[in-house]
Amino acid sequence: MTRTHVIRFAIASAAALGAALCLPVVMTGETARVNGAVVIPVEEDTPPIDGDAEGDATIKGIGLVSSGGQMKQRFLRAVHAGIVPNKGHGNAGLRTRDAGEDEDNVRNTQANDPALDHITTFDPAVVNTRPFEFSTQSETSAVSDGRHIVVGYNTSAGADVQFFPGFGLAFTKLMFSGVSTSHDGGRTWTSGFVPSVSPDVPFTFGDPALAMDRRGNIFYASLGTDATGEHGGIIVNKSSDHGSTFGAATVVAVDDGSDKEWMAIGPDPTTPSRDNIYITWTSFVADADGNTIGGELWLARSIDGGRTFSSRKLFAPVDDGAQTAFIQFSNPVVDSSTGRLYIPFLHFSNTDADNVRVLASDDGGVTFRRLAFNVAGAVDAFAYPNVTPGILNDCTGGGVRNALVAGVDQGGGRFGLPRFAHATRLITQPNAAAARNTFAFVVNSSTSPFFGAGTGSEINAVISRDGGTTWTTAQVAASSLADPQHVHPAVDLSADARRLTVSYYVQQLNSQLRTDAAVLKLDRARVRLHHGGPLSSTAFDLTPSNVVRTPTATTNYDRAVQTCYDIGEYQTLAHSRDEDGRVFAAWGDNRRSGSRPAAGEPAGDNQVGAESSARRCRARPMAS
């Protein structure tokens, strides 16, 4: 067998290839109603999703379903089993804190409020269990309007766990869609959770995507439920006061198989004075036995400012032996100068390299055409091949995953694979931007042609200056001995289409991570790297996300989060819509990680930061 075939055989043979990114650790297939409340029973080491669970789809070891998608599926199984959501579970509001300047950080500021993180413990005389530490923030999306900055992110700080006598431990609330707002350019922040569709159903499932219209209205798209809690789908919250408050969520589309939505707002090509809202997502399709057999690309569009949406299927791939029936990680953008809508997404293959594809529409999302790359050796003219970086790591309940790792192999991994305690899963999302007939997307690429090889990784930008007719590829960051890994890039294109800013994570030789940014100058005839350097002022360690507890079970320090999940799957760049045009970066990092030893539970925390930077969420305004 070749190396690729051996890897493929091992993964196909795995008993539990969990696709969860973040998910409460719960009893598989069992739910209950206690005192009228939806509860998800907690077990110490039972994997949250088994190999046959609804919505669990794995291709080559890549879990296609995100954190929110898996949590949504768990919630829906509870409801469909006859559980009625409890009345009176309200949504957490925003709370204020003065971030000031970090003592270790002149430029970076923490955007999320650490006071919302919490540890829940129980009297061992009542219930013998490890503590629950809810302190994970990740996957940022942001908008900026002058001094007003709004960052959305996944957060476990909105999770509640309770003990019910005669029943046991159960999660009773999951407000996974967090938000932080600054009105002074990132110096101080308020933090909280965007509301669900109904206060009677206190469940949101993250995967945030933020966008702003020309009137300054901010829209926050994420995964959620309908008002009854009986069905999952795509929801959107709106703020008309620069993010100070968000209204109750509106249901964009009811889709129990929905996952990984993304949003863009821009002028309609035929009615330039009107802003259209576009939301794309993956809809996983199951057979009669509940086995996931494919993933479809869907689009929802609003032409009335988000009051109503219409939706339709754009692409439903068929497994042809080379290409699979699965797509994921769409990332729509609008060229505000023309109103053209671009939708890049990843189409999974049966070989090492998966393929980025791009749909384009010049009539406001009514009709689409495929953009051709004409790459030599690709499966067809419309495919841009890319090998996702990372080493195959046994994440036990979290499946076999491509990951960045640190430390030493704990041993005991299935199929002879390593089982690193410090690991964070990797995917390929083609993050995109468009302006003045220029369209670009960035990807993280392995330096090896083999999936799961664990060699170095680089960041590449794929750029068209003529709306997708011809293409140029530019290397943004190369693998080196000092900095071997570069992953999860975000991109921003200036309004004049002359400056492309790219941010990304770097794993150093010592295994610590930092965030970097690079600026590419786009001239008529060439693309050149203008300058680059660190965004984060402090490198940080990976958290203990895959710690062995028994020979057959591992755990994340945060019990609301699946194993091998740390920094999430994306970060963000956003430029201000005022004349200044400054670029704002937000990402998740672990610089405030600490150890809170309790009953052997490994601990650490994340933050959303901003430069403005998130695990704690961190943030940073960047020079134009």
The larger pLDDT score, comparing residue 580 to residue 472, is at 472
Supply the pLDDT for residue 166. 81
* pLDDT over 60 at 616, yes or no: no
Residue 524: which pLDDT band, with cuts at 50, 70 and 90? Answer: confident
Q: What 3-state class would DSSP assign to 394?
A: strand
Model pTM score: 0.90
Summarised one tens digit per residue, pLDDT across range 356-415 is 999 999 999 999 999 999 999 999 999 999 999 999 999 988 888 999 999 999 999 998
Q: Name the most confidently modeled range: 128-137, 306-315, 552-561.
A: 306-315
Backbone angles phi, psi at 499, to 5 degrees: -135, 125
- How many residues belong to the chain? 624
Supply the pLDDT for residue 289. 85
Summarised one tens digit per residue, pLDDT across range 393-408 is 999 888 889 999 999 9
Structure-token match 């009953």, residue found: 599
Single out the residue of 277, 89, 115 nearest to residue 171, CA to CA: 89
* pLDDT over 90 at 582, yes or no: no
Beta bridge partners of 459: 444, 477
Summarised one tens digit per residue, pLDDT across range 4-63 is 433 333 333 332 222 322 333 333 333 445 566 655 667 665 433 233 333 334 566 566
Supply the pLDDT for residue 39. 58
Q: What's the token pair of residue 85?
A: 């959501």
63-78 mean pLDDT:
73
Summarised one tens digit per residue, pLDDT across range 177-220 is 999 999 999 999 999 999 999 988 888 999 999 999 999 999 99
Distance CA 488, CA 397 (A): 23
Beta bridge partners of 333: 342
610-614 mean pLDDT:
49
Residue 584: which pLDDT band, with cuts at 50, 70 and 90? Answer: very high
Summarised one tens digit per residue, pLDDT across range 289-344 is 888 899 999 999 999 999 999 999 999 999 999 999 999 999 999 999 999 999 99
Supply the pLDDT for residue 612. 43
Percent residues over pLDDT 70 in the chain: 80
Residue 609: which pLDDT band, with cuts at 50, 70 and 90? Answer: low
Structure-token match 């695990």, residue found: 615
| DSSP letter for each residue of 560-606 | TS-TT-SS-S--EEEE-SSTT--EEEEEEB-TT-----BTTB-----
Kindly list the domain boundaries of the chain, sorted by start residue. Answer: 3-622
Supply the pLDDT for residue 600. 38
Task: Give every CB contact of residue 123 below 8 A, 6+ residues apart in sequence.
Answer: none
Residue range 3-622 in CATH 3.40.50.150: no
- Angstrom CA distances, 361 to 336, 343, 429, stand at 13, 9, 20
Residue 97: which pLDDT band, with cuts at 50, 70 and 90? Answer: low
Distance CA 356, CA 462 (A): 11
